[in-house]
A and B are shown apart, each in its own frame.
Chain A
Amino acid sequence: MIKTFPWGGTHPPENKITAGSKIIYPPLPSSVSIPLSQHAGIPAVPVVAKGDKVLTGQLIAKAGGFISANIHSSVSGVVTKIDKITDSSGYKQEAVIIEVSGDEWIDTVDRDPGIKREILLSGDEILSKCLESGIVGLGGAAFPTNVKLKVPPGKKCELLIINGVECEPYLTSDHRMMLEKGEEIIIGILIMMKALNVKKGMIGIENNKPDAIEHLSNLCKSIGEITVHPLKVKYPQGGEKQLIKALINREVPSGGLPVDVGVVVQNISTAFAVYEAVQKNKPLIDRVVTITGKTLATPSNYMVRFGTSVQELIDVSGGLPGNTGKIINGGPMMGKAVITTSVPVVKATSGVIVLSTEESLRRPVTSCIRCGKCVTGCALKLEPYLLMELSRKDLFERAEAERITDCCECGSCSFICPASRPLLDYIRLGKSQVLRNKRERILQKNKAS
């Protein structure tokens, strides 16, 4: 029996238009804007100033705290300014803007295309290499990898799960990575297993990517510790909690982390980034981004240097179609609609999707017919219709009791609703208010004691 998570989930149309297109290395842009906050946690602190000359791979901002990440220049050139730019969430944030001249790399990076198999570093050295190279989870949350690979005291990790699910429609970056960088990814997984000191690795791949399943299975044949597991296509299987449930039938406790059930989950592209950092000494400066959309002339997968603007990528893919209504940074289920094409590609950008005006409009909201599709579609077994009503009526205490903070915002409820009700919009609102209330309670408790 082919595995999947047992309840909930939806089947959005896959639209994997670019599954067959090889990774292209596009021409370097004339300038890049590299944001200082491309990761979960505190923004990085710049270590370069206006007028400095930088090389590709050079450190330009240092991690600003424990949960933060180093940022390196993705190009060589001159820092023209450190200024506020619009990021993909629509907020203004600090970025280092570099005018590109040539592509001169720092000399510590091993740019030899050959694959280096032997893992020489120790577990601790691997962690510090990840920290040094600015590696973060490339699946979307961009959590610093060195923190995630360090098992907290008192917890035990016995399994590394690699997320090759790519359940978001349209996106194919992880798929192409598995096909074209399979061997490097396997070495990256072995490196992470060494850092975690675990003997077992599992790769979960949805079976709409049979070529990737076959390729990685062949590569893993000689390595006993890593196994490849085909999974039945179902959204949101790429969510950590769903993937763990699907593969080993364990449930992460509410408010807990995967390590509470002895698991660490990492993404396919992260495994590749770890390989490059540890074996090639290359900091994280680029990633594969899927540029796609039904109206785009040449949708493709590109290896993009961070800081490249979305506009630049759309230009090399045939230009912005005339009837474009929305541009999404990320997948269509969880990605963010950008307000301008000048936003830069960052570490967490897995794709850019261009939607036509017709595709971009929401349908009119009608009455809830209580069909229960949101309840039976919720992969966390919450009751979205109820959470929406509670948020709408400011009943945040009840929403908290109904575990609104467990919502992973996968969007299945809003997707499936036949009345087009803005379920997730209200749940997000309620969730943020509940989290605010929780923080305040902790503050007051601390003050009292």
Chain B
Amino acid sequence: MSNILNISPAPHVFAKDTTRSLMLDVIIALSPALIASVYFFGYGAIIVTLTSVVSCLIFEYLIQKYILKGPVSITDGSAVVTGLLLAFNLPSNLPVFIIIIGSLVSIGIAKMTFGGLGNNPFNPALVGRVFLLISFPVQMTSWPVPSGFNTGYSDAVTGATPLALVKEGLKNGESVSSLMDQVPTHMQMFYGHMGGSMGEVAAAALILGLIYMLIRKTITWHIPFAVLGSIAAFTAILWLINPEKNADPAFHLLTGGVMLGAIFMATDYVTSPMSFKGMIIFGIGIGVLTVIIRVFGAYPEGVSFAILIMNAFVPLMNKYIKPKRYGEEVTNG
């Protein structure tokens, strides 16, 4: 017997998926929305994305190498995903130094202080975004009007998002039907022809990404459908009660960060629950909080806050919302 045999406990075969391949799938799923935002916002989208991704990678490398003095794992793709998602949550005319600060907060504070990939309680990209929103409220809420490569970067013409317009209008006592004439049509919003964060506008492209991830089984349907379903249901109730004071469900689904949040932010593995039951409750929580913030809160948009608030409940949900074990409750016969 010349061969030396390897010994290990079963199983002896493993699925092809690795952390890196899953991250690559997310990146592929994000690419239609990235292409759409370049189409709508031109060079600005490219500058914001590149700055965000590159600085996320650099910060992760520097922290792992020189502060933690441990192995460097920037090739697992998670920093690229964080960088892309952060960029998607920013206006396409944001100055480079603000983006770099956002990346530092995302990677340095939200991710690495907790121990890196897998240990962060809050979605890093959203922590970065909310930090910037509070620190640079003017720059973070001046949205370029989409006009392709004519949009420009620092000289972009800016305007309000449909959500902000409607919120402001309702506060001034205007009716929903008159406000709807001032915002793009539902079809335009579906394709993404409106002001907003660079990656959140194109619902159609984001849904393409969702379909890809569902086919590849990168994520399951539970979180995105729970978020979208609960937003649709909640806003439909409000709309039916008073259609002149509340926008219709389709408007709520297509505007702001709902699609991006439901499909890519809430489904972040690390910060979402482990079980299907937990995922659905998590999704409904996000949907309900989003609508509460949008309709009754001070901000026109609430997806980021809703997701971060629900992130905080994930450890509790993992502890108390257990799958019902096989044979636990036997109802045979």
Residue-by-residue, is B263-274 near A (CB-CB < 8 Å gives 1, otherwise 0)?
A: 000000110111
A411 to B13, CA, bound (A): 9
Q: Is the CB of A371 within 8 A of B269?
A: yes
Q: Is the CB of A415 within 8 A of B332?
A: no
Within the complex, which residue of B5, B22, B275, B325 is in contact with A337, where a contact is CB–CB below 8 Å?
A: B5
Which residues of A17-37 are within 8 A (CB) of B? none
* Residues of B contacting A12 in the complex (Cβ-Cβ under 8 angstroms): 11, 13, 15
* Residues of A contacting B22 in the complex (Cβ-Cβ under 8 angstroms): 369, 371, 418
Chain A interface SS verdict (over half): loop
Within the complex, which residue of A325, A372, A381 is in contact with B325, where a contact is CB–CB below 8 Å?
A: A381
Within the complex, which residue of B11, B270, B279 is in contact with A334, where a contact is CB–CB below 8 Å?
A: B11
Answer whether A250 and B332 are a contact pair too, CB < 8 Å, given A256-B327, A355-B12.
Answer: yes
Answer whether A415 and B13 are a contact pair too, CB < 8 Å, given A338-B5, A340-B5, A406-B327.
Answer: yes
Q: Taking the nearest CB of chain B, how far is it from the CB of A305, in angstroms?
A: 22
A414 to B5, CA, bound (A): 21
* Residues of A contacting B273 in the complex (Cβ-Cβ under 8 angstroms): 372
Within the complex, which residue of A10, A311, A378, A418 is in contact with B18, where a contact is CB–CB below 8 Å?
A: A418
Whether A419 sits at the interface, judged by CB under 8 Å, is yes
A311 to B119, CA, bound (A): 47
* Residues of B contacting A382 in the complex (Cβ-Cβ under 8 angstroms): 323, 325
Residue-by-residue, is B1-30 near A (CB-CB < 8 Å gives 1, otherwise 0)?
A: 101011111111111011101100000000
* Residues of B contacting A416 in the complex (Cβ-Cβ under 8 angstroms): 15, 17
A90 to B21, CA, bound (A): 36
Q: Taking the nearest CB of chain B, how far is it from the CB of A191, in angstroms?
A: 27
Q: Taking the nearest CB of chain B, how far is it from the CB of A249, in angstroms?
A: 8
Q: Is the CB of B10 within 8 A of A418?
A: no
Answer whether A90 and B327 are a contact pair too, CB < 8 Å, given A13-B13, A372-B274.
Answer: no
Q: Is the CB of B220 within 8 A of A254?
A: no
Which residues of B291-327 are within 8 A (CB) of A? 318, 322-327
Q: Is the CB of A409 within 8 A of B10?
A: yes
A249 to B7, CA, bound (A): 38
Task: Select the residue from B9, B13, B17, B279 with max chain A CB neighbours within 10 A.
Answer: B13
Closest to A322 in B: B3
Task: Select the residue from B116, B272, B279, B318 with max chain A CB neighbours within 10 A.
Answer: B318
Q: Taking the nearest CB of chain B, how far is it from the CB of A231, in angstroms?
A: 17
Q: Is the CB of B276 within 8 A of A380?
A: no
Q: Taking the nearest CB of chain B, how far is it from the CB of A392, in angstroms?
A: 15
Residue-by-residue, is A414-449 near B (CB-CB < 8 Å gives 1, otherwise 0)?
A: 111111100011001000000000000000000000
Whether A320 sits at the interface, judged by CB under 8 Å, is yes
Whether B117 sits at the interface, judged by CB under 8 Å, is yes
A180 to B151, CA, bound (A): 73
Which residues of A299-342 are within 8 A (CB) of B? 311, 320, 324-328, 330, 332-342
Closest to B23 in A: A369
Q: Is the CB of A337 within 8 A of B12?
A: yes
Answer whether A336 and B325 are a contact pair too, CB < 8 Å, given A366-B19, A367-B116.
Answer: no
Task: Select the residue from A328, A370, A380, A409 with max chain B CB neighbours within 10 A.
Answer: A370
Whether B244 sits at the interface, judged by CB under 8 Å, is no
Within the complex, which residue of B119, B275, B328 is in contact with A254, where a contact is CB–CB below 8 Å?
A: B328
Whether B76 sits at the interface, judged by CB under 8 Å, is yes
Whether B147 sits at the interface, judged by CB under 8 Å, is no
Closest to B328 in A: A254
Residue-by-residue, is B96-126 near A (CB-CB < 8 Å gives 1, otherwise 0)?
A: 0000000000000000000011110000000
Q: Is the CB of B5 within 8 A of A327?
A: yes
A311 to B1, CA, bound (A): 9
Whether A361 sits at the interface, judged by CB under 8 Å, is yes
A56 to B194, CA, bound (A): 85
Whether B330 sits at the interface, judged by CB under 8 Å, is yes
Whether B158 sits at the interface, judged by CB under 8 Å, is no
Whether B73 sits at the interface, judged by CB under 8 Å, is yes
Whether A261 sits at the interface, judged by CB under 8 Å, is yes
* Residues of A contacting B117 in the complex (Cβ-Cβ under 8 angstroms): 367, 369
* Residues of A contacting B328 in the complex (Cβ-Cβ under 8 angstroms): 254, 381, 403
A245 to B332, CA, bound (A): 10
**Contact surface of A with B, Cβ cutoff 8 Å:** 7, 10, 12-13, 90, 169, 241, 245, 250-254, 256, 261, 311, 320, 324-328, 330, 332-342, 353, 355, 357, 359-363, 366-373, 375-376, 378-383, 385-386, 403, 406, 409, 411, 414-420, 424-425, 428
**Contact surface of B with A, Cβ cutoff 8 Å:** 1, 3, 5-15, 17-19, 21-22, 73, 76, 78, 116-119, 220, 269-270, 272-276, 279, 318, 322-328, 330, 332-333
**Can you list 9 pairs linking A and B with CB atoms under 8 Å apart?**
A326-B12, A336-B9, A367-B118, A369-B19, A369-B118, A381-B325, A415-B13, A424-B10, A424-B11
Interchain residue pairs A-B with the least CB separation, the first 8 = A411-B11, A372-B274, A367-B118, A381-B323, A371-B269, A380-B326, A250-B332, A332-B13
